């Protein structure tokens, strides 16, 4: 059985509208840029306290990172991405230049001992010291290629020894003979439907299975206080390969700083991942991410713990996300619950016994992944359950706009107020009961009670449904990001929720 499963009739024609983004200044959104060149990456291991930063930036800076997926590069795929992707119909000029350079470089990589990941960085943040917290806001994620790969490798994944369903590695396996590993890598193109991108997989009768992509960076972390060589696979108290699929655009990750400068790094880009990531990898594909890196000093009200902050914590517009990490899944669960109780008690004033009861009744705990040696579980604590305890602020270019919560579910804001503060205009079409937005050269029609938005002549599907309330068109804050194209990031400071909305990341 060969290591490569081909999807013969798919190609990438349906995704041809998505441009390739090689290492270039084009479409860089941040104040600083870290390309994924050979000098700026490490392969299979993470920065430690002795690592030299590739860049040093002030606190609060926005940094654009190019990241490269390891899929198509590593030894069981021939360490030759042009040849590997060429076998699936991808021409050489549609393979990233930095992927080619990394695969052809003299960087040593041990397939059996090292992690597979290409890690970009580290970046030092001025003023960061041990005991501080680094706040990482994910402002945007741009797809760099219109395809990805999902892999299952022997003795890894949720069912080691059962999958792949073949006899396993043969003698002489290596980059020269990748087929002798007998691992399974499934090439996965993506295609667009109503403005949303989907991964495409075949069934045995050549029909297609589609699933939506939801990009995120699997690896985000800061350097530990260690001089040891740190394998890139297991996550730890300083982050790393935490593989939490909620950490897409609009999310915020908090990391405990252990060394001067923090030494932030990122990598392991995903187009999509199910909770658990059971096969070993999810839909792995290269991304360009723009992140804001901010140092929080001890006592800052936006640090998720009043006491000592010792491990990652995250939040999105909908949830606070306490994280548990341990080689034992049961212990990871206990750690996630303990962190949840501590957060609710310290930050939101619940007694510990009431917090425990609330979590049991109302909070979902998800398995982040079970395939990275150290397993992960994270909780999803709904912010809207705590509206009576919180004040909510949506700030657009420094102006406060009061949000509304509908059905105790989502935060909504007046469309006209948001658009005008962003420099656009809104006209009302009474015949269709639609608002017509002009913003940054785009024309956007927002129709009441419909999740199809008309953008520059094209229907775009979005889960956020607009409603008319008190004669105002109200849209979910998420839609401000997805449809209007603004940056939206949430931060919890004390008992205040802040959503910062802007058209520029700078």
pLDDT band at 293 (very low <50, low <70, confident <90, very high): very high
- Of 143, 371, 359, 405, which is closest to residue 242 (Cα–Cα)? 371
Q: Which of 234, 174, 190 is nearest to 374 (CA)?
A: 234
Q: How far apart are CA 26 and CA 23, in angstroms?
A: 9
The pLDDT of residue 49: 98
pTM of the model: 0.94
pLDDT for 93-138, tens place per residue? 999 999 999 999 999 999 999 999 999 999 999 999 999 999 999 9
Give the mean pLDDT of the chain: 93
- The string of pLDDT tens digits covering residues 375-406 is 999 999 999 999 999 999 999 988 999 898 88
Give the model's pLDDT for residue 7: 30
What would the mean pLDDT of 338-356 be, rounded to a whole number? 97
Q: What is the mean pLDDT of residues 283-294?
A: 97
Q: What is the pLDDT of residues 232-268, one digit of tens each?
A: 999 999 999 999 999 999 999 999 999 999 999 999 9
- pLDDT computed for residue 2 by the predictor: 30
Whether residue 140 is predicted with pLDDT greater than 90 in this model: the reply is yes
Beta strands in 298-451 (DSSP E): 313-315, 319-326, 364-369, 375-382, 391-396, 399-401, 404-406, 410-414, 425-429, 434-439, 442-447
Q: What is the pLDDT of residue 17?
A: 47
Q: What is the pLDDT of residues 425-463, one digit of tens each?
A: 999 998 888 999 999 999 999 999 999 999 998 999 998
Check residue 226 and give its pLDDT.
97
- pLDDT bin (cut points 50, 70, 90) of residue 197 is very high
pLDDT at residue 12 is higher than 70: no
pLDDT band at 186 (very low <50, low <70, confident <90, very high): very high
For 358-394, letters b (16+ CB in 10 Å) and e give bbeeebebbbbbbbbebbbbbbbbebbebeeebebbb
**52-76 pLDDT, tens digit each:** 999 999 999 999 999 999 999 999 9
Is residue 15 very low, low, confident or very high in pLDDT (cuts 50, 70, 90)? very low
pLDDT of residue 407: 75
- Confirm if 175 and 79 have CB atoms less than 8 A apart: yes
Helices H, strands E: what count in the chain? 6, 36
pLDDT band (50, 70, 90) for residue 287: very high
Query: Residue 408: what pLDDT?
Result: 73
Per-residue pLDDT at 25:
74
Surface-to-core class of residue 351, CB atoms within 10 Å of its CB (0-12 exposed, 13-18 middle, 19+ buried): exposed
Mean pLDDT of 78-94: 96
DSSP 8-state secondary structure symbol assigned to residue 53: P
């Amino acid at each position: 059985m060969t290591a490569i499963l081909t999807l013969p009739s798919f190609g990438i024609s349906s995704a041809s509208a998505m441009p390739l983004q090689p290492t270039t200044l084009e479409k860089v959104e941040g104040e600083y840029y870290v390309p994924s060149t050979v000098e700026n990456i490490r392969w299979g291991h993470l920065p430690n306290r002795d690592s030299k930063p590739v860049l040093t930036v002030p606190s609060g800076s926005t940094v654009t990172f190019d990241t490269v997926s390891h899929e198509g590069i590593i030894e069981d795929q021939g360490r030759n991405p042009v040849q590997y992707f060429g076998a699936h119909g991808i021409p050489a000029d549609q393979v990233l230049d930095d992927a080619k350079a990394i695969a052809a470089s003299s960087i040593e990589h041990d397939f059996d001992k090292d992690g597979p990941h290409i890690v970009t960085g580290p970046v030092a943040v001025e003023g960061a010291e041990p005991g501080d917290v680094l706040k990482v806001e994910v402002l945007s994620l741009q797809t760099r290629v219109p395809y990805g790969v999902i892999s299952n490798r022997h003795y890894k994944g949720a069912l080691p020894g059962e999958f792949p369903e073949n006899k396993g590695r043969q003698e002489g396996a290596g980059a020269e003979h990748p087929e002798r590993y007998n691992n399974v890598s499934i090439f996965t193109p993506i295609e667009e439907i109503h403005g949303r991108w989907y991964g495409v997989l075949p069934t045995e009768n050549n029909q297609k299975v589609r699933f939506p992509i939801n990009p995120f960076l699997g690896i985000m972390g800061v350097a530990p206080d260690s001089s040891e060589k740190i394998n890139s696979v297991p996550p730890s108290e300083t982050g790393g390969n935490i593989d939490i699929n909620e950490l897409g655009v609009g999310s915020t990750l908090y990391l405990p700083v252990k060394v001067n400068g923090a030494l932030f790094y990122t990598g392991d880009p995903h187009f999509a991942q199910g909770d658990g990531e059971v096969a070993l990898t999810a839909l792995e594909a290269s991304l360009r991410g723009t992140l804001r890196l901010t140092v929080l000093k001890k006592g800052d009200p936006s640090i998720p713990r009043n006491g000592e902050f010792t491990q990652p914590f995250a939040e999105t517009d909908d949830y606070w996300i306490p994280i548990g990490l341990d080689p034992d899944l049961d212990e990871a669960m206990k750690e996630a619950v303990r962190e949840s109780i501590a957060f609710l008690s310290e930050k939101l004033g619940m007694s510990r016994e009431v917090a425990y009861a609330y979590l049991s009744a109302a909070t979902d705990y998800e398995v982040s992944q079970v395939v990275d040696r150290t397993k992960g579980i994270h909780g999803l604590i709904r912010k809207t359950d705590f509206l009576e305890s919180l004040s909510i602020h949506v700030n657009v270019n420094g102006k406060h706009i009061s949000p509304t919560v509908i059905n105790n579910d989502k935060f909504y804001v007046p469309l006209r107020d948001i658009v005008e503060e962003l420099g656009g205009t809104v006209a009302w079409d009474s015949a269709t009961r639609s608002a017509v937005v002009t913003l940054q050269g785009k024309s956007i029609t927002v129709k009441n009670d419909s999740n199809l938005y008309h953008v520059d002549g094209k229907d775009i599907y979005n889960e956020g449904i607009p409603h008319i309330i008190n004669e105002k068109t109200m849209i979910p804050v998420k839609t401000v990001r997805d449809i209007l194209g603004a940056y939206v990031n949430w931060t919890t400071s004390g008992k205040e929720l802040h959503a910062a909305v802007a058209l520029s990341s700078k």
